[in-house]
Amino acid sequence: MTIESSRVSPPTAVRRRLRMHHLFALLIGTIIGVGWITASGIWIIQAGPIGAIIAFAGGAVLMTLIGLCYAEVMAMLPSASGAVGYSYAAFGSRAAFWSGWLLLASYVATCAFFAITLTWLLDILNPAIRGPGLYTVLGDELYLGDVVAIAFVGSILGFTNQLGADIAGGLQTIVVSIKGVLALVLATAAFSAGSAINLSPLITGNTATDSAVAIIGVMVTTPFWFAGFDVLPQALRECAPELNLSRLGRLIIVTTAVALGFYIMIILSASSLVPRAVLLTFQLPTFDAFETAFGGVIFPRVVLALGLVGVLSAWNAMLFAGSRILNAMSAAGLAPAMFAPLSQRRRTPARAVWMISVLGCGLGLLGRHAVNPLVSAASITLVAAFVLLCLALLRLRKTRPNAHRPYRVPTPLLAWVATGLALGLLVLSALGPLLDRHGSLPSEWVVVGVWIALGEIYWRRIRKAAQSNHESIQCALGSS
């Protein structure tokens, strides 16, 4: 593989072959990952099946508003390197650096989450896969099979992304299509065998206030389950030139609606197949509910297959987005120069792909007890990046009022509402771990704090160059 030596890779250097169906697959594959297997029981227990559906519907509306803000800025600056380029256009190099730095943390942590979940599902599928134990970390024993599975899948996804966006997008389309078929099979089976009696109580809580608190408790977690449209800006730089940018808003609305339909199906399936008292005892509610209701191996294995497909699609999307962010930052001088060159043959950020893959797999080797801190850290940093994006939109409307906008948020008020909601989500995502630990220092705060400290050290090192190289940074980020 030959690598070009130039530091700045203009947006037009990459191959532009992605189309709208690739974007849909990339987006829906990111939103619907695998967390529903482990978390659906928490949603149902906390709010009841209808309460959980109400919470997810509210979360879908909330995240759609933020997504439409993305759509307007994406259409305005389609060659920009995502939130990094938007932040630079609005506020300058410091905001661009922190936007990228926060997103990198979120993408790497999420890749690690998928790596850990992969080993979890494989262990359920066949415990013999784990093999001999190798080491213990954070109280969890890691096995040879875990390490091999993470390394193998991480390598396959890394190699696929190195080949090009069209190859990665094609893989994503295939995986998402398989996911859709499996989801329909499960929905049909659940609705034919389930009972409405098992849904009771529809909403938890003895009073309206208790019910509202329970629903809100679930709704504040939904941004993590609906997050995914932040990968679109990276993909736009490699989209076919004839792509109709005015359809980006519709893409986000449709994709969020499809994801909401999937989550509703999962909630109703798990809660209708078995009585609530039985569901409370399950570690993996969706899998255990199908196993209890149908017995045998067919439908439980379909659940696991759907989960494994979800791991592949979401991990692939995170790797794609993370590598493009790292490459853009490097080309702009906001990250080490070694990640800026594109491969000469494929025109892909190969070095950045492998770096994100290695970091994600490496953190994945921390084991299952690292899942909660990783998910919380990913949520905090992602929502912080959302806040920067919404603020960038408001700023660009003032500084570039006459800029061409193929898509515009329907009313200006929605942008302000989305900004306020994003700020509220940031506060809730940061305070949530503290409340869960009853005042003790959350490990998530330590992880995020260390990452921010490292970012500040690196920023101070590059600050002078970043603030003086306006033209080269603007070219690299496509923010003109």
Residue 5 has pLDDT above 50, yes or no: no
Average pLDDT score over the chain = 82
| pLDDT band at residue 10 using 50, 70 and 90 as cut-offs | very low
> What per-residue confidence (pLDDT) applies to 455?
95
Domain locations along the chain: 11-430+456-477
DSSP H helical segments within 164-297, as ranges?
165-193, 208-219, 222-226, 232-236, 248-273, 276-279, 285-294
- Facing residues of 142 across strands? 135
The tens digit of pLDDT for each residue in 351-371 reads: 999 999 999 999 999 988 888
What token pair was written down for 344?
């000469």
| pLDDT band at residue 128 using 50, 70 and 90 as cut-offs | confident
Mean pLDDT, residues 95-106? 93
> What per-residue confidence (pLDDT) applies to 364?
92
> What per-residue confidence (pLDDT) applies to 12?
41
> What per-residue confidence (pLDDT) applies to 11?
42
Mean pLDDT, residues 202-211? 86
Task: Specify burial of residue 391 (Cβ count, 10 A radius: 0-12, 13-18, 19+).
Answer: buried
Mean pLDDT, residues 2-14? 40
Q: Is 432 helix (H, G, I), strand (E, B) or coil?
A: helix
- Among 192, 401, 197, 437, which residue's Cα sits nearest to residue 299? 192
- Among 4, 100, 29, which residue's Cα sits nearest to residue 262? 29
> What per-residue confidence (pLDDT) applies to 164?
63
Share of the chain above pLDDT 70, in %: 89
What token pair was written down for 438?
């009853």
Q: Which residues, other chains included, contact 149 with Cβ-Cβ below 8 Å and sequence gap of 6+?
A: 118, 119, 122, 129
Range picked from 2-6, 198-202, 260-264, 369-373 for highest mean pLDDT: 260-264
Q: State residue 16 phi and psi, 5-degree precision.
A: -110, 95
Tell me the pTM. Answer: 0.82
Residue 438 has pLDDT above 70, yes or no: no
- Among 240, 238, 236, which residue's Cα sits nearest to residue 348? 238
Q: Which of 85-99, 144-158, 274-288 has the lowest mean pLDDT?
A: 274-288
Mean pLDDT, residues 272-284? 80
> What per-residue confidence (pLDDT) applies to 233?
75
> What per-residue confidence (pLDDT) applies to 226?
84
Q: Which of 289-293, 301-305, 471-475 has the lowest mean pLDDT?
A: 471-475
The tens digit of pLDDT for each residue in 158-167 reads: 888 777 655 6
The third-level CATH classification (topology) of the domain covering 11-430+456-477 is Amino acid/polyamine transporter I (1.20.1740)
